[in-house]
Structure 1
């Protein structure tokens, strides 16, 4: 009887600790910026505002943003700020993201 109570208590404490660790991990991810959600619509609108082909730019940027959850600042370049965005390529090997 005492062993079962100790087992239940240790199981409960383990679950509590796991819950606390998971909550701390989620908080640290959003602080670091790699797991937080961004508004892809406004980020791509800012990125594509000077594009000669805005519809194509918005479509490609939206696809890249939804996959990477980041868009480099400015209207061109700055790919070093978002490595995932810069690494996506088309079937032809060209950059997919504007």
Structure 2
């Protein structure tokens, strides 16, 4: 959701620049095309494996566990997973595919270990 808002914002800024400076329009359009091409390459900081420092786990996990009714176990396992994987998926639920280590760590019974 945040990446969609960011891309809409970038598109609006680029369009405003094109309209305000017609002499520079071609380079702005080329820049916009480059940004849209590589938009899929963008990974927010902290969501790719190994991109966090251990001291950054607590605030990320607090955010991740903010919507659950089971805060203590969520925070415990999230921080354990973050310490191992050094990443926390964005949002309060799902999105685990951006951090394979976090996603693939399983309990003894085969269920997901990380919230």
Give unmatched runs, 5+ long, in structure 1: 1-31
Which residue in 2 is equivalent to 1:43? 60
With structure 1 as the length reference, what TM-score do the two structures score?
Answer: 0.63
The structure number with the bigger radius of gyration is: 1
Q: CA deviation at 1:34?
A: 3.3
RMSD (Å) for aligned C-alpha atoms: 1.8
Counterpart residue number, 2:50: 34
Matches within 5 A, 1:1-98: 34=50, 36-37=52-53, 39-98=56-115
Gaps in structure 2 of 5+ consecutive residues: 1-47
Q: Are the equivalent residues in 1 in contact too, given 2:61–2:75 (CA < 8 A)? A: yes
C-alpha change, 1:56 and 1:33, in structure 2 (3 Å) is closer
Equivalent pairs, count: 67
